[in-house]
Structure 1
Amino acid sequence: MEISPNTTCIGFIGTGVMGAAMAGHLLDAGYRLVVYNRSRSRAEGLLTRGAVWANTPAAVAQEADVIVTMVGYPQDVESIYLGADGLVAHAKPGALLIDMTTSSPRLAMRIYEAAKARGVRALDAPVSGGDVGARQATLTIMVGGDEADFLLAQPVFSRLGKNIVHQGPAGAGQYTKMCNQIALASTMVGVCEAMAYAIRAGLEPKKVLASIGTGAAASWPLQNLVPRMLASDFAPGFYVKHFLKDMAIAIASAEEMGLRLPGVQLAKSLYERLAAAYGDDMGTQALWLVYRDAETKADTTRPAAEQGGREGS
């Protein structure tokens, strides 16, 4: 099997914030594209550009040689892959299944084994980079599965990302993505606390960002998400609800290994507070609202003399 626009039909399941952009890159590369999403309206942009609609995941499997999935939750992945009408049951012999959802490492292993038993290839290939990386095709792609299948998938991966690494056997991609989310969880708390501290100290947050954004504290969230926070732009590039899901997976997976993650547990509790107050359909940068609300409350309870002293500092 060789993957090329001239010979390969690609199926794409999950055309949300990131999935639609990713599928669009494959269309731009000349691949015949068959798409499915629970809400057809989210796929209309792709359909107007030439993609073909399928009514079910099974219908995608019957048409496509390679199938990419980018959905929300592990239960969605399990149903799409392992259900009676799922991809594994209906995929063509030798087809390549690539799950790019952030999901459970153990589920990735189950999918691999089920696919292998039917003569189907399977890779777990979660990504990092958010909506910006999806639009610019600069995603980091972390891949688990057989090396031969990883090499086979390169024409697809190269259209979606720049940093593409085979991490090991099935599940290794998802374990690596958990490392990413563990690091990100504490970083999001850190950047919010840095800005809260700057404001309390009477500093101009944008000027602070200009100084620390390229120093030892530099990070992708500091450079890309803090400007959104300060502009009160909480539109989702990566949903709070999905980050909560990821942190829950990381904590559960760590517990299986006898490892505690107090930093992730703290971040998860703060995001749960955010979700309770504002809902979970905003972007992860909305964590700033928890700190902004705390600062507003402090301003209303702090003695007037103290407030005046800070403002004049």
Structure 2
Amino acid sequence: CAHLMKAGHKISVYNRSKEKANGLIDMGAIWCSNPKEVAEKSNILFTIVGFPHDVEEVYFGEHGILKSIKSGSIIIDMTTSEPSLAQKIYNEARKLGVSSLDAPVSGGDVGAKNGTLAIMIGGDKEAYETVLPFFNLMGQNISFMGKEGAGQHTKMSNQILIASTMIGTIESLLYAFKAGNDLEKVIQVIGKGAAGCWSINNLGPRIAKGNFEPGFFIKHFVKDMGIALKEAKLMNLSLPGLALAYQFYMYAMALGLENLGSQGLFKVLAKMNGI
């Protein structure tokens, strides 16, 4: 939202915790008491919340967006959520003469702050072309993936890859730590070679410094992996690497680490090895 406001756009906002919107309100955003009120004041509406049940409430609840959205409007859900829910929103919005896009993002807290997110979009192509200038304010890698739900399916592919990559990143650094190597030097070297990836280059330095603060919460990653496993089951698809990563992160949840960043899995594997 801040990127939109800095570009000169007027916005109305709602958050369940008003204090989280105070920065935007101070910049001139109009505060609304619920999603329905935001929809009444807007013709282009972005949402991003935590879980699929939150998306359901925001769109279909008593004070939901679809209770008051105007015909001709465009709604864009940027939550990482279920493809089937994206399709449900699309179908219900269409009955109201409203265009819908599912547009989950990747890039973490750094990407959000710097406007460098990857945004993967499914839904109405004409609506996508209309709001592309807004997406360009939020990210650098903007891709239209196809019909409704295609954005969410692409995000699932992203999360499946990250799941196994995180295990590899953490095992690599755990090995280096046990061997007595300087973790920061190890990251500098292997991050520039064939093993280089976003996880080692962005989360590796945080692990080396003992920084497990969330850019992306473990509890949200578990949610994403659960969605991917559910969708894979519907497609009769076996994804053993994802299933293993899911179990490790569920163990992290059992240990009370759900509010750490995804790199907090290092604590789990360290505990398993008596470190």
Q: Would the TM-score normalized by the shorter structure come out above 0.5?
A: yes
Q: Any conservation in 2 of the 1:243–1:284 contact (CA below 8 Å)?
A: yes
Which amino acid in the other structure matches residue 243 of structure 2?
Answer: Q
Q: Which whole-Å CA distance do the structure 2 matches of 1:111 and 1:166 have between them?
A: 18
The residue that corresponds to 2:170 in the other structure is: 192
2:26 is equivalent to residue 52 of structure 1: no
Task: State the 1:157 CA deviation.
Answer: 0.3
* Partner SS state of residue 141, structure 1: strand
The residue that corresponds to 1:104 in the other structure is: 82
Q: Which whole-Å CA distance do the structure 1 matches of 2:27 and 2:189 have between them?
A: 43
Q: What CA deviation, in whole Å up to 9, does each residue of 1:89-140 have, x standing for no partner?
A: 2101111100000000010001000000100010000000000000000000
**Residue identity (%):** 46
Q: Which whole-Å CA distance do the structure 1 matches of 2:211 and 2:172 have between them?
A: 18
Q: What CA deviation, in whole Å up to 9, does each residue of 1:60-109 have, x standing for no partner?
A: 00001111001000011111112243112210111110000000001000
Tell me the matched-pair count. 275
Q: What CA deviation, in whole Å up to 9, does each residue of 1:17-66 have, x standing for no partner?
A: xxxxxx11111111111110111111111111111100010000000111
Which amino acid in the other structure matches residue 243 of structure 1?
Answer: F
The 5-angstrom pairing of residues 113-132 of structure 1 reads: 113-132=91-110
Task: State the 1:145 CA deviation.
Answer: 0.5
Q: Any conservation in 1 of the 2:257–2:264 contact (CA below 8 Å)?
A: no
Q: Which moved more, 1:259-268 or 1:249-258?
A: 259-268
Q: Which whole-Å CA distance do the structure 2 matches of 1:145 and 1:82 have between them?
A: 19
The residue that corresponds to 1:274 in the other structure is: 252
Task: State the 1:214 CA deviation.
Answer: 1.0
2:182 is equivalent to residue 216 of structure 1: no
Task: State the 1:279 CA deviation.
Answer: 2.8
Q: Any conservation in 1 of the 2:102–2:151 contact (CA below 8 Å)?
A: yes
Q: Which whole-Å CA distance do the structure 2 matches of 1:82 and 1:152 have between them?
A: 25
Which amino acid in the other structure matches residue 213 of structure 2?
Answer: A
> Which of 49, 54, 57 matches 1:71?
49
Q: Which moved more, 1:172-181 or 1:280-289?
A: 280-289
Following superposition, which runs of at least 4 residues in structure 1 exceed 4 angstroms of deviation? Answer: none
The residue that corresponds to 2:230 in the other structure is: 252
Q: Which whole-Å CA distance do the structure 2 matches of 1:49 and 1:85 have between them?
A: 26
Q: Which whole-Å CA distance do the structure 1 matches of 2:122 and 2:175 have between them?
A: 40
* Partner SS state of residue 100, structure 2: strand
Q: Any conservation in 2 of the 1:97–1:120 contact (CA below 8 Å)?
A: yes
Q: What CA deviation, in whole Å up to 9, does each residue of 1:120-167 have, x standing for no partner?
A: 010000000000000000000000012111101111101100100100
For structure 2, list consecutive stretches of 5 or more residues without a partner in the other structure.
none
Task: State the 1:277 CA deviation.
Answer: 1.4
Q: Any conservation in 2 of the 1:88–1:120 contact (CA below 8 Å)?
A: no
> Which of 176, 182, 185 matches 2:160?
182
Q: Which whole-Å CA distance do the structure 2 matches of 1:190 and 1:47 have between them?
A: 42
Q: Any conservation in 2 of the 1:127–1:142 contact (CA below 8 Å)?
A: yes
* Partner SS state of residue 224, structure 1: helix
Task: State the 1:221 CA deviation.
Answer: 0.8
* Partner SS state of residue 132, structure 1: helix
Q: Which whole-Å CA distance do the structure 2 matches of 1:293 and 1:230 have between them?
A: 16
* Partner SS state of residue 13, structure 2: strand
Q: Which whole-Å CA distance do the structure 2 matches of 1:74 and 1:188 have between them?
A: 24
The 5-angstrom pairing of residues 222-261 of structure 1 reads: 222-261=200-239
Q: Which whole-Å CA distance do the structure 2 matches of 1:201 and 1:282 have between them?
A: 26
Which amino acid in the other structure matches residue 190 of structure 1?
Answer: G
Which amino acid in the other structure matches residue 67 of structure 2?
Answer: A
The residue that corresponds to 2:130 in the other structure is: 152
Task: State the 1:190 CA deviation.
Answer: 0.5
Q: Which whole-Å CA distance do the structure 1 matches of 2:28 and 2:10 have between them?
A: 8
Q: Which whole-Å CA distance do the structure 2 matches of 1:97 and 1:104 have between them?
A: 16
Which amino acid in the other structure matches residue 250 of structure 1?
Answer: A
* Partner SS state of residue 165, structure 1: strand
The residue that corresponds to 1:301 in the other structure is: none
Task: State the 1:270 CA deviation.
Answer: 0.9
